[in-house]
Amino acid sequence: MSPLPTFSTMAPEAGLKQAMALSRPDIIETMKQSGLKGRGGAGFPTGMKWNFAAAAQAEEKFVICNADEGEPGTFKDRVILQDHADLVFEGMTIAGKAIGAKEGIVFLRGEYTYLRSQLEAVLDRRRKQKLLGKAILGSDLEFDIRIFMGAGAYICGEETALIEALEGFRGEPRNRPPFPVNTGFLGRPSIVNNVETLASAACILQKGVDWWKATGTEHSTGIKIFSVSGDCGKPGVYEFPMGITVAQLLKEVAGEGAKAVQVGGASGLCIPASQFQRAIAFEDIPTGGSIIVFGQQRDMLDVLHNFLDFFVDESCGQCTPCRLGNRKLLEGVELLKEGKCSMAYLQELCALGDTMQIASKCGLGQSSPSAFLSVVKNFREELMGRTYSHV
């Protein structure tokens, strides 16, 4: 049984049939009106992204589904692909019609290779049902989807690195602009959307804008799928309304009494108990859906050590702030653990984190200091007790 009630209640292909009856601008207008924001983490408005790609002049365009899911603590896209692949492919087909693309590509995380045969079977069935290929549902719409296997690098989830990898190059982020909506895969206009975003788009086409906007907040509409792990009684994949507070979420997952919650994975924010009334929404605490609960027994320096170790490993090394900055932050955490970091040096590390957020080339280096900075800010007393002057 799928843990995702909204996706489970969708009628097969009702969103696609609805989209077939609409013009391309009307599909895009529906997406804009829904207020749907990208579920991959950055929260970019989906209707606006589709509009940019639709407006771009080119003979060939692409719809890319980002199923690289590598953020620590995130596993909801795996469940969506496992239980609701049809909805994701339906969303991709709707996006194909909206922007004028004939080809869709799923960039599937290398570690999810075991899902491939199941997904290929769904694609084959959809071709037989005339839901993919030429003359979809008897119309003049042509669209098909293929699967491309990632090779296990976190950075390939970044949309321009993903496109480089699709083209057969090392997965390294590109300079932006130009953006993929204008110059994407093979230099053609391309939209890159998260698995959940595409499934949500199919739901919106089926049930309508008002239904979607009845859930969530003014600036973060609809439902959101969360991956919950860590020190709680009921870890797993959940559907909650956007705008749920951290405290409400903890109650649902039997995580009351937590010391802190990491919202948004290793690159997200570490929220202390004093802020559990804050809302998980783009206007307050943004997230791609990763929630990691830390119990009272957790040492926040162990948490940071773990995250920074990951970023040192996963940095592609192209730009200095990220390549060296993450190493310096990791060394700083090690010094703190050994009681050899002075307060002045801790402040320098915070300034380094600020610089990384501004000067790094892509989202990895721009967000990797977030956990460090939020732990220093929110657990100041705990850390001060570990600095050199206190030993």
Binding site for ligand SF4 (CB under 6 A): 155, 173, 315-319, 322-323, 360-362, 364-365
CB of 199 to ligand FMN, least distance (A): 10
CB of 108 to ligand SF4, least distance (A): 21
On whether the CB atoms of residues 108 and 67 are closer than 8 A, the answer is yes
Q: Considering beta carbons, is residue 190 or 367 the nearer one to ligand SF4?
A: 367
CB of 156 to ligand SF4, least distance (A): 10
- Listed in sequence order, the residues at least 6 apart from 313 whose beta carbon sits closer than 8 Å to its beta carbon are none
Other beta carbons within 10 Å of 178: 13
Query: CA–CA separation, 245 vs 288, rounded Å?
Result: 15
Which of ligand FMN, ligand SF4, none binds 316 (CB below 5-8 Å, type-dependent)? ligand SF4
Q: Considering beta carbons, is residue 123 or 163 the nearer one to ligand SF4?
A: 163
Instruction: Answer yes or no whether residue 189 interacts with ligand FMN by CB under 6 A.
Output: no
Residue 302: closest CA among 262, 356, 249: 262
Instruction: Answer yes or no whether residue 172 interacts with ligand FMN by CB under 6 A.
Output: no
HEC string of 150-189 equals CCCCHHHHCHHHHHHHHCCCCCCCCCCCCCCCCCCHHHCC
Write the CA distances from 141 to 23, 96, 122, integer angstroms. 12, 9, 19
> Which two tokens mark 2?
């799928």
Residue 213: closest CA among 204, 226, 225: 204
**Stretch in the footprint of ligand FMN (CB under 6 A) among 18-26, 80-88, 191-199, 348-356:** 191-199
Write the CA distances from 201 to 27, 149, 222, 298, integer angstroms. 10, 24, 11, 39
Residues in 278-307 at the binding interface with ligand FMN, rule: CB under 6 A? none
State which of residues 13, 69, 103, 231 lies at the interface with ligand FMN (CB under 6 A).
Answer: 69
Which of ligand SF4, ligand FMN, none binds 211 (CB below 5-8 Å, type-dependent)? none
Query: CA–CA separation, 243 vs 266, rounded Å?
Result: 21
CB of 119 to ligand FMN, least distance (A): 16
Instruction: Answer yes or no whether residue 157 interacts with ligand FMN by CB under 6 A.
Output: yes
CB of 103 to ligand FMN, least distance (A): 18
Residue 89: closest CA among 151, 170, 146, 155: 146
CB of 309 to ligand SF4, least distance (A): 15
Residue 36: closest CA among 220, 206, 193: 220
**Stretch in the footprint of ligand FMN (CB under 6 A) among 67-75, 94-102, 134-142, 346-354:** 67-75
Instruction: Answer yes or no whether residue 70 interacts with ligand FMN by CB under 6 A.
Output: yes
CB of 264 to ligand SF4, least distance (A): 17
Instruction: Answer yes or no whether residue 42 interacts with ligand FMN by CB under 6 A.
Output: yes
State which of residues 362, 373, 376, 383 lies at the interface with ligand FMN (CB under 6 A).
Answer: 362
Which of ligand SF4, ligand FMN, none binds 315 (CB below 5-8 Å, type-dependent)? ligand SF4
Which of ligand SF4, ligand FMN, none binds 44 (CB below 5-8 Å, type-dependent)? ligand FMN
Residue 281: closest CA among 344, 363, 223, 346: 223
Q: Considering beta carbons, is residue 313 or 338 the nearer one to ligand SF4?
A: 313
Which of ligand FMN, ligand SF4, none binds 322 (CB below 5-8 Å, type-dependent)? ligand SF4
Amino acid symbol at 142? E
Q: What is the DSSP string of 19-65?
A: HHTS-HHHHHHHHHHHT-B-TTTT--BHHHHHHHHHHS--S--EEEE
- The binding site for ligand FMN (CB under 6 A) comprises 38-42, 44, 66, 68-71, 154-155, 157-159, 192-194, 197, 362-364
